[in-house]
Amino acid sequence: MLVPRRYRGLLIFAVVFAVVFFHFVRSHDWQIVFPGDYHDHHPHFPPPPGDLFSQNPPSLDFVPGPPPHQQTANTKQSHENANQVGVKTSGNGDGQAQNAGLGGSGLRKQQQKQGNQGKQKQGLSMFPVKRPPPHWKKVPEIFPLAPEERITLPTGQPKSLPKLQASFEVESVEEERKRLERLDDIRKTFEYAWNGYKSSAMGKDELKPLRGGYKDTFNGWGATVVDALDTLWVMGLEEEFALAVEHVKSIDFTTSEKLEIPVFETVIRYMGGLLGAYDISDQQYPVLLEKAVQLAEILMGAFDTPNRMPTLFYKWTPDQASRVHHASRRAVLAEIGSLSMEFTRLAQLTKDDKYYDAIARITNELESVQSSSKLPGLWPTKLDATGCEKPIPAHAVVRDVPSPSNSSTTPVLTPSARPAPTDIRSYTHYFERRGESGLAQDAQPADYEQLIKEKNPDSYIVPANSDCKGALITQNSYKDAFGLGAEADSTYEYLPKEYMLLGGLNDQYKSMYEKAMDTAREHLLFRPMVKHGRDIRFLATLDLSKPLAELQPNQIPTRYEATHLTCYAGGMFAVGSKLFGIDGDMDIAAKLTDGCVWAYESTYTGIMPETFLVIPCKKGESCTWDEARYKDALDPWREERLAAMQKLKEQAIEAKESQEVAVEADEPAATPEKNAVIYERNGVKRDATASQTTETPVPTGPRVKVTRRSLLSPLPGDPASALADDYVKTRIREERLPPGFVRMTDRRYLLRPEAIESVFIMYRLTGDNYWREKGWRMFEGISKHTRTNFAHSAIEDVTSMHPEFQDSMESFWLSETLKYFYLLFSEPSVVSLDEYVLNTEAHPLKRPT
């Protein structure tokens, strides 16, 4: 029987509904599914302190990792997401518990059995179960070293090194009262942040300081707890220190949901934190050293490469660790060169030379190539550490860079992709800000040269015929960056510190430091042009496509920038000056440190931004403030804009008149008729009768044809010049640029410690109270503008009256920044720099005596 037309729609809908309903009934369990753990958690309430550490560490029995094809996935994704495998079970929760404990083939058989059953049941009463993470297991080395091949710790009586700290006068009663009040304020700030972390993220890597919750950034072992250990001790917070030690006891470094270990960050935060706490507490807590050894045993696998250069993101799971791996072709200098102090101290405490051997081989490689880079004395920020390929001939990688149109001492800003404004209203809209950032819509990082970008820097295939036992390669790319800041900093910082940690028994570190600083003084150090004649210094960065010796002085691509990361250099120069007796470097140290203090004092918040550009003074010349030069740097495309405006004026006139006005200079000028109109050079109409004369001009030279274009050329007093000034003023206002700042390429403050680190060192080495007062002003600005309801947070824009929070509190806020503020106002005997040497995370390691 035919279905009436009016019921066809309902029939079709019923059929579709039935199919969909039947599908979902067969494929889903309608019970509540509980999600697994995530790495980025929102607020939760931890168990009471008494139960916080009651859980036993996971079993050390080996649980195999996921299949190889899953483990070779993009490593960046594996950083953010734990590798989870869903296991389906049927029946009640007992099946879940049983299967969670299965490993290897047993787990696969159970999954296969359930898969067969699923052909009939197909998902009834099933829900995903998170698979337990794998556990590390020691595997035989693929490239072992014979005991006689190991590089051993230097032996002998440590040298009597020069005293670093100044001799301090006895303070007055009023001075002591003032100092102790400030010390108490700093301690309370630390406790506020620490308590916020405890209440919402205890045992996790980082607190989310806006609404609570946590992030597991560094393998989930509790980076903030370990990083803050020695700060708790230094501040006399004994009960909190004991609580933190209890957490350390519960850490199981043999397992993590992340399948890679970031070696550098793990060494400076975890290993450095454990060893620093062990030393500063007079070695009263053996568990701290035990845990450092456990971690080091895992990390030693990263050095099991053909040339013993470490892979900096170590795949630690047993099936991955048992495979051949190589160091990176683009190894970051600061990462590969900043492992020495922690492994050296561990070797000293355990009397095991294998830890020292691991880093000594890196030092030997760095020394061997120090003079062969494009900038001899310094290393590029990226190195080829694979040892798998021969150095690329210079002619194969070096191409000529377009010659700069300006001298190397004048910043050239990247042109905007937007059309140039041609009137004051357009200029105003030209600076529309993105939200609260204070940046123009078209804002781009300024650069000083037009450089060709490197193509596919990370693409690399190990040559089949290579044994990969070669040396470091310093010229493995078209363009190499040379500087003391980002991606380089702690490698240079560790040279004098490692020398002290070894008791001066290895001159290798002294000679490497002296060579590096000789080059830095000559090619990186510069004075910026600032108001009021303040004599400060910053360190530039060079981007070299060919060796420096092949370039003319005005061809050297130089970034005249100031970065917060580089603020550590003042303290380093100060230590090097006293330790190695380098004349003049203490003055450089003071000027570098004061440069960062000036940057702090320049913003509304009293905080230095991450990165900004300045104008360098010309070497050998006086450096007084030059307003015209500053405006040129702020408006580098002024001439192009004025030319565009002039063209628009011409087009407007030509639209009104069809013929070009020509004046013959050798003909008598006709008497203008009443109300006749001519145009002045600026294109403004005037009444011709106002300039009538009674005499007829007599020609005195050849005939010259004067066109409308020449008549419209701007005069010195042209309004266009005023408009250019308006552009500069608008840019300063809209971007909130302090005097001397050309552009802020990164306006954030990330709770960084480098500036106060150098202020602290300058005070301890000179005894000058100037540094204490400057440090206190810095603390006031930082504590005021970073405080949240839970703790403290990085902020988006240091020039804003009400900066936005980033919801980030890295562990170095407690381990470094607040520790340096505290030590600045502590008695000089607290963590004396003549007794301890601080690693790059401010963990105090005991110097040999």
Which tens digits make up the pLDDT trace of 296-350?
A: 999 999 999 999 999 999 999 999 999 998 999 999 999 999 999 999 999 999 9
Which of 384, 543, 561, 754 is labelled catalytic? 754
Q: Please tell me the predicted confidence (pLDDT) of residue 544.
A: 96
Predicted confidence (pLDDT) per residue in 170-186, tens digit: 999 999 999 999 999 99
For the record, the structure tokens of 184 come out as 């108490």
Residue 285 has pLDDT above 50, yes or no: yes
Whether residue 708 has pLDDT greater than 70:
no
Q: Contact 287/844 with Cβ under 8 angstroms?
A: no
Indicate if the pLDDT at residue 230 is higher than 70.
yes
840 among annotated binding-site residues: yes
Cα-Cα-Cα-Cα torsion 639, 641, 643, 646, nearest 10 degrees, comes to -140
- DSSP H helical ranges for 28-92: 49-52, 68-71, 75-80
Rounded percentage of the chain residues whose pLDDT exceeds 70: 68
Q: What is the CA radius of gyration of the chain?
A: 34
Confidence tier at 390 by pLDDT (50, 70, 90): low
Runs of H (alpha helix) within 635-768: 638-656, 708-711, 719-735, 754-766
| pLDDT recorded at residue 409 | 39
494 neighbors 571 (Cβ within 8 angstroms): no
| Mean pLDDT on 816-841 | 99
pLDDT at 704 over 80: no
Residue with tokens 């405080």: 787
Q: Which amino acid is at 551?
A: L
pLDDT score, position 661: 52
Estimate to the nearest angstrom the gap between the alpha carbon of 279 and the chain centroid: 29
Please give the average per-residue pLDDT across 239-252, as a whole number.
97
- Beta pairing partners, 685: 679
Question: Beta-carbon neighbour count of residue 310 at 10 Å?
Answer: 28
What is the structure's pLDDT at 67?
38
What pLDDT does 466 receive? 59
DSSP 8-state class, residue 559: E
Model pLDDT, residue 76: 39
Name the residue with higher pLDDT: 365 or 70.
365
Whether residue 610 lies in the annotated active site: yes
Kindly state the percentage of the chain with pLDDT values over 90.
61
| Mean confidence (pLDDT) of the chain | 78
Does residue 170 come out as left (phi exceeding 0), alpha (psi in the -120 to 50 range) or beta? Answer: beta
Which sequence spans correspond to the domains of the chain? Answer: 8-121, 173-402+481-631+739-846
Phi/psi for 204 (5° steps) reads -100, 170
Residues 180-214 as b or e (16 or more Cβ within 10 Å = b): eebbebbbebbebbbebbbebbbbbbbbbbbebbb
Query: In this model, does residue 289 exceed pLDDT 90?
Result: yes
Please say if 754 is a catalytic residue: yes
Name the band, by pLDDT with cuts 50, 70 and 90, for residue 476: low
Query: Can you read off the two tokens belonging to residue 347?
Result: 């070797």
- Backbone dihedral region of 453: left (phi > 0), alpha (psi from -120 to 50 degrees) or beta? beta
Mean pLDDT of 474-488: 90
- 480, 610, 757, 797: the catalytic one is 610
Instruction: Considering the candidates 265, 718, 734, 746, report the single residue annotated as catalytic.
Output: 265
Q: How confident is the model at residue 135 (pLDDT cuts 50, 70, 90)?
A: very high
- In this predicted structure, the answer to whether residue 677 has a pLDDT above a threshold of 90 is no
pLDDT digit string, tens, across residues 528-582: 999 998 999 999 999 999 999 999 988 899 999 999 999 999 999 999 999 999 9
Position 429 confidence tier, pLDDT thresholds 50, 70, 90: very low
State yes or no: is 827 an active-site residue: no
pLDDT of residue 681: 32
pLDDT at 805 over 70: yes
| pTM of the predicted protein model | 0.73
Contacts of 228 (CB under 8 A, 6+ apart): 194, 244, 273, 811, 814, 815
CATH topology of domain 173-402+481-631+739-846: Glycosyltransferase (1.50.10)
Q: How far apart are CA 605 and CA 803, in angstroms?
A: 9
Catalytic hit among 205, 279, 342, 489: 489
Q: What DSSP state is assigned to residue 416? A: P
Q: pLDDT-derived band of residue 722, with 50, 70 and 90 as boundaries?
A: low
